[in-house]
Structure 1
Amino acid sequence: MNHIPSVNLSDFISGDENKKQKFVEEIGKAYEDIGFVALKGHFLNDALVEKLYTEVKKFFSLPLETKQKYEIPGIGGQRGYVSFGKESAKGKKEGDLKEFWHFGQYVENDPKLEAEYPKNVIVEELPEFNTVGKEAYRMLEKTAKYVLRALALHLKLEETYFDNYIHNGNSILRPIHYPPITEEPKEAVRAAAHGDINLITLLMGAQGRGLQVKNNKGEWIDAIAEPDELMINVGDMLSRHTNNKLKSTIHQVINPPRELWGTSRYSIPFFMHPISDMKLDVLDSCIDNDNPKQYDDITAGEFLNERLIELGLIKK
């Protein structure tokens, strides 16, 4: 496979059973083959996307000392600002050439989870920043819910199997700024080759070159979405839960050609996480004689903590 398949969520929510089934088959096949799709028909409108990018660019344009006020120690970068070069891919020493922000869950009616998750950080200088971030978070979460419903049907589970695990889940919206490159990067790239930790990732801002996905032959292929599409991929939690039936594909963001070093790049992924208590034990339906169980039992919270240590965001 040398391209990313495109699907339309409108088919799934159309009320037409044939269209719905076609969507389930298309997205299921894509996630078994390459682990990525480009999705039309999501719940983000153009005006909201434009507002979000405007606010995000304003934030990253603030002076460094202002941004660093919002870098909160002791929470593994789970909310607020993470400065340039702090995060590295699993197994890499070099920090990625990026800075980013984290919006987290807006918990409803659950004091236990409210106490568990760090609080969202409010940017005083930009009155619209947090409002727009929250609205985008909600629309991406809604889109992700329907994608997971389609995948539940593909896996022969009850359609709403994931709903209770993702309601109030520990999901993250991450606006990323890849600043202009000012000198020859030694080993560092904008985002080194990695798999995502979570269930699924919804990415805004994959319209330009940069994002690459490794296909089954081990070749890097460009993952470029149309302006009205989100790029959505399987994360390690979902891959593990399905015994690798659905593929968490290695991907990277490469440095641009030298003539474009002077330009910034922005992208905004939404990492759909379940609640920490969700068991990621391999589904019985994904185990057979040809595919024996590959993973030990673990909860989503335990798995996340392991990975944050590997990424250097939490110290042991």
Structure 2
Amino acid sequence: MNKIPSVDLREFLSGDPEKKDKFIRELGKAYEQIGFVALKGHFLSDTLVDNLYTEIKNFFALPDEVKKKYEIPGIGGQRGYTSFGKEHAKGRKEGDLKEFWHFGQYVEDDPVLEAAYPPNVIVEELPRFNEVGRETYKMLEKTAKYVLRALALHLSLEENYFDRWIRNGNSILRPIHYPPITEEPKNAIRAAAHGDINLITLLMGAHGKGLQVQNHNGDWIDAIAAPDELMINVGDMLSRHTNNRLKSTIHQVVNPPRELWGTSRYSIPFFMHPISEMPLDCLENCIDEKHPKLYDDITAGEFLHERLIELGLIKA
């Protein structure tokens, strides 16, 4: 496959059984073959998208000493600001050429879980920053819920199978700023080749060149979404849970041509995580003689902890 397939969530939500089945088939095929789709018909309005980009550009334009007020020690970067070059891909020493912010879950009706998650960090200098971030978080979480319902049906599970695991899940909205490149990078790119940790990732801002996806032949394909599309990919948790039936595809964000080094790039992924207790044991209906069990049993919380150590965000 040399192109990212495009699907429309409105078909799944249409109430028409044929359109719903078509969406499930197309989504499932894409995630089994390349692990990425471009999705139309999501719940983000153009106004909300514009407002979010305005707010995050304003934040990243703040002086470094102001931004660093919001870098919270001891929580592995789970909330607030992470400064330039702090994070690196698994297996690499060079820090990625980016800085980012994390909005986390807004827990409902679960005081124990609310106490377990770090609180969201409030930016005093930008009164609308946190409000717009919260609204975007909720709309992306809603979109992700229906994508996972479609995947549950594709996997011959009950449609609401994932609902209990993702409600109040440890999901993260991450606005990223890739600043202008001012000197020849030393073996570093904006985001080195990696797979995502989580169930699925919903990406805003994949409208220009930069994001690349590796297909099964090892070729790098440009992943460019239309302005009204989100790029959505399978993460390692979902790949593991389905015994690699659904593919968590390696992807990267490459540096632009030298003539564009002076420009910033903004990208906003939403990492859909379940609650920590979710078992990621390989689903029985994804195991057979041709597809033996590939992974040991583990919970989502245990898996996330392992990966945060590998990424250099927390210490072992």
Query: What is the correspondence of 1:256-295 to structure 2 with a 5 Å cutoff?
Result: 256-295=256-295
Which secondary structure state, in structure 2, belongs to the residue aligned with residue 18 of structure 1?
helix
Calculate the TM-score normalised by the size of structure 1.
1.00
Which secondary structure state, in structure 2, belongs to the residue aligned with residue 69 of structure 1?
helix
Percent identity, aligned pairs only?
Answer: 81
Partner of 1:102: 102
- Counterpart Cα distance in 2 of 1:4 and 1:248: 14
| 1:292 CA displacement | 0.4
CA RMSD of aligned residues (A): 0.3
Partner of 2:203: 203
Partner of 2:26: 26
| 1:90 CA displacement | 0.1
**Cα offsets for 1:179-227 (capped at 9, x unmatched):** 0000000100000000000000000000000000000100000000000
| 1:138 CA displacement | 0.1
- Counterpart Cα distance in 2 of 1:31 and 1:112: 35
- Counterpart Cα distance in 2 of 1:302 and 1:117: 15
Partner of 1:3: 3
Partner of 2:59: 59
- Counterpart Cα distance in 2 of 1:241 and 1:17: 27
Which secondary structure state, in structure 1, belongs to the residue aligned with residue 70 of structure 2?
coil
| 1:115 CA displacement | 1.3
Letter paired with 1:240: R
Partner of 1:137: 137
Matched, 1:77 2:77: yes
Partner of 1:187: 187
**Cα offsets for 1:242-294 (capped at 9, x unmatched):** 00000000000000000000000000000000000000000000000000000
| 1:111 CA displacement | 1.1
Partner of 2:253: 253
Any runs of at least 4 consecutive aligned residues in structure 1 with deviations exceeding 2 A, and if so which? none
- Counterpart Cα distance in 1 of 2:69 and 2:122: 11
Pairs aligned (count): 316
Partner of 1:298: 298
| 1:176 CA displacement | 0.1
Calculate the TM-score normalised by the size of structure 2.
1.00
- Counterpart Cα distance in 1 of 2:111 and 2:291: 40
- Counterpart Cα distance in 2 of 1:303 and 1:2: 31
Partner of 1:231: 231
- Counterpart Cα distance in 2 of 1:268 and 1:110: 27
Partner of 1:13: 13
- Counterpart Cα distance in 2 of 1:108 and 1:2: 42
Partner of 2:38: 38
- Counterpart Cα distance in 2 of 1:116 and 1:299: 16
Partner of 1:169: 169
| 1:49 CA displacement | 0.1
- Counterpart Cα distance in 2 of 1:212 and 1:247: 15
**Cα offsets for 1:71-92 (capped at 9, x unmatched):** 0000000000000000000000
